[in-house]
Structure 1
Amino acid sequence: MATLGSPHRYALGVLYGDGIGPEIVSAAVLIADAALSAAGAAPLTWQELPLGLRAIEECGEATPKATLAALAETDGWLLGPHDSASYPEPFRSELNPSGTIRKHFDLYANVRPAKAFEGGDALAPGADLVIVRENTEGFYADRNTHLGTGEFMPTPDVAIAMGIITRTACERIAREAFELASRRRKRVTIVHKANVLKLTTGLFRDVCREIARDYPDVAVDDFHIDAMTVHLVRRAREFDVVVTENMFGDILSDLAGELAGSLGTAPSLNASRDRAMAQAAHGSAPDIAGQDVANPAAMILSTAMLLEWLGTRHQDEALVRAARIVEEGVGSTLERGIRTRDMGGAAGCRAFTEAVAASIGQL
């Protein structure tokens, strides 16, 4: 792995996933290489690793232990979407590959930008916000217990879900949000439901407020989750960084992505203090896999987030510059009216990727 203060040679894992995963991840690798060259950065070493249906066929596991061990030796990785609903049993009922990786590496921060690009047909023009979502607790069954899941049925007619909120998890996600806001427009919005879930989301709100004292230059406000959906629809462009718990963040980020133009352009980064995974916010779309119609923008932009995360962590200005070049390349391509089918255009996955590469060449 790269070390601070030395000529960096970063190694990134490549997990193609299922469905459209191989198409969009390959596009992201191509664009990352082009941007790194344009930025004068050292090229990356890409390490392809098995995951998903391919891994089941080759290794007998959806997320092989060898893959996890190899990822631990990289600086970060790209994860394509998985189609775990189509896996044969018993793999279908197991924790899916994304969840397994998040849990194994404690990737507690899910950072999801929603930016309206010119030419992207946004429902909320001018929107440029980031949802910072706590990624390890809440009501989601695969994230809030050490063994088993957070759901159980005492009788066939009664189902119970545990929602776990801890001070430690609240503190670290709040700090991620305030650190990010300090580099952006210096505003954090806390989203909760403390009028009803007084103890759990009340704790989340209060701990975020406590952390805010360490960032006096960052303005803070808060809204209940139901009110926040209305505010996003009506005035998305006024928000900067939104921090919230797991389930609320999942819902709000999908809403924000559509308001900004399309889930096809909605990137995502799962991160801890020392690991990060680029992963588009959308699914594997098996119905269009292999047809060259998938939108690679979200995966490309997710990879840009990973480059920026690495560059910030290692004080590597060339990587940060490469991340900006990727975003500018995608933005320029959309401004020229080159869009994939999900955004009302006619470009295929390869054509859109080639157009972004050409835009980077012109930049």
Structure 2
Amino acid sequence: MATTAHPEPYRLGILLGDGIGPEIVPATVQVMDAALAAAGAKPADWVPLPLGGAVIETHGSALPAETLETLGELDGWLLGPHDSAAYPEPHRSQLNPSGAIRKHFDLFANIRPAKAFEGTPALLPGIDLVVVRENTEGFYADRSTYRGTGEFMPTPDVAIAMGIFTRPAIERIARTAFELAMRRRKHVTVVHKANVLRTSTGFFLDICREIGAQYPEVELDDFHMDAMTVHLVRRAEAFDVLVTENMFGDILSDLTGELAGSLGIAPSINASHERAMAQAAHGSAPDIAGQNLANPIAMINSGAMLLDWLGTRYDDPRAQAAAVLIEKGLEATVRSGVSTADLGGTAGTSDFAAAVAATIGAV
């Protein structure tokens, strides 16, 4: 729901992260700046903040307290990928920076589009859908408890994992899905496993149906999680917005990203009602870090999603126009034959970003 107009330029954080993050995040800033200018919007007030393995030695943490505090003063931010598996202990065993930020700010909606680019080797060229993933509960241990973990061993021979499902969390993710569908093709599909997990995912399905009754214009259907993977491979073009619990959403969004061509083009945002974090769905790719080889499309499109989220929240048509310009600029650039090596092209990260920015500027 839109709120009053934003009184000043958007204050947006820059968190480079690890691996290819220091390459794809600046590329995204360049493209977002070009799009905001082309849309006649005020330039963003960019706020660089320390995060990642490189700051552990200088700040004592991959997510310094000063970073978390400053993020609370911003409208949103770009988060580069992190490589927490490579952090020294005890940092490796702690909640990773993305998870800690998400949990601290209750970023309950993980929104992951999957759309093929013309001119790329997509497995399903007609795919154009969005996975709306509940981001705070479900079957993931780090999201199931206020303190501690939802995964534990009462004896050396028994491991237990809890899955948490609550009405308030399900209601708000369902509303997010239906509001998004109203802006798209007005079709929501609930993905669940209510035939087996009747009490938990059955509860999720029931509440989504309750919320769906408030959106009579939106077609509502549902599929079991296992069947959904088959339907996506066979006929992904038949789906619009998928809404599901945490773990199912993680699995489905990776699948749909690959069906669209590559996780390298798979964007996402993590959002609450107050702020949003743009974060590519892929990892840090340390094997190609620093070589100007990384595909920045996922991060750039995540930046476009952030602008669209801001435009929707503040009823700001210029921010929304900037988001559209980025999407069209990416499509036109790839269609023209300019792409990184993973999509069959020869452009480096910086060259690709410059080409997208120039395309937007020429509109």
What's the TM-score bracket when you normalise by the shorter of the two chains? over 0.9
Distance 2:4 2:197 in 1: 44
Tell me the CA shift for residue 156 of structure 1: 2.2
**1:53 counterpart = 2:53:** yes
Q: Secondary structure at the match of 1:129?
A: strand
Distance 2:201 2:290 in 1: 43
Aligned match of 2:329: 329
Aligned match of 2:76: 76
Matches within 5 A, 1:8-87: 8-87=8-87
Aligned match of 2:340: 340
Aligned match of 1:287: 287
Taking structure 2 as the reference length, the TM-score comes to 0.98
Distance 1:156 1:290 in 2: 43
- Check conservation: 2:131, 2:252, Cα contact below 8 A: yes
Tell me the CA shift for residue 6 of structure 1: 5.5
Distance 2:126 2:50 in 1: 39
* AA at the equivalent of 1:213: A
- Check conservation: 2:109, 2:176, Cα contact below 8 A: yes
Tell me the CA shift for residue 358 of structure 1: 1.9
Aligned match of 1:210: 210
Moved more, 163-172 or 148-157: 148-157
Aligned match of 1:262: 262
Tell me the CA shift for residue 54 of structure 1: 2.3
Tell me the CA shift for residue 155 of structure 1: 2.1
Q: What do the CA deviations read for 1:193-251 (whole angstroms, capped 9, x no partner)?
A: 00111110000000000000110000000000000001111111111000000000000
Residues 66, 322 of structure 1: alpha-carbon distance in 2 compared, 3 angstrom cutoff:
same
* AA at the equivalent of 1:12: L
**1:170 counterpart = 2:170:** yes
- Check conservation: 2:6, 2:314, Cα contact below 8 A: no
Q: What do the CA deviations read for 1:49-94 (whole angstroms, capped 9, x no partner)?
A: 0011122122101111111110011110000000000000000000
**1:304 counterpart = 2:334:** no
Tell me the CA shift for residue 8 of structure 1: 3.1
Q: Secondary structure at the match of 2:56?
A: helix
Residues 15, 226 of structure 1: alpha-carbon distance in 2 compared, 3 angstrom cutoff:
same
Tell me the CA shift for residue 146 of structure 1: 0.8
Aligned match of 1:89: 89
Aligned match of 1:143: 143
Q: What do the CA deviations read for 1:5-40 (whole angstroms, capped 9, x no partner)?
A: 355311001100000001000000000000111111
* AA at the equivalent of 2:250: D
Q: Secondary structure at the match of 1:142?
A: helix
Moved more, 131-140 or 148-157: 148-157
CA-atom RMSD, angstroms? 1.0
Aligned match of 1:231: 231
Tell me the CA shift for residue 261 of structure 1: 1.2
Distance 1:334 1:231 in 2: 28
Identity %: 70
Distance 1:142 1:331 in 2: 37
Q: Secondary structure at the match of 2:294?
A: coil
Aligned match of 1:275: 275
Distance 1:93 1:354 in 2: 38
- Unaligned 5+ runs, structure 2: none
Tell me the CA shift for residue 337 of structure 1: 1.7
Aligned match of 1:246: 246
- Unaligned 5+ runs, structure 1: none
Distance 1:169 1:192 in 2: 15
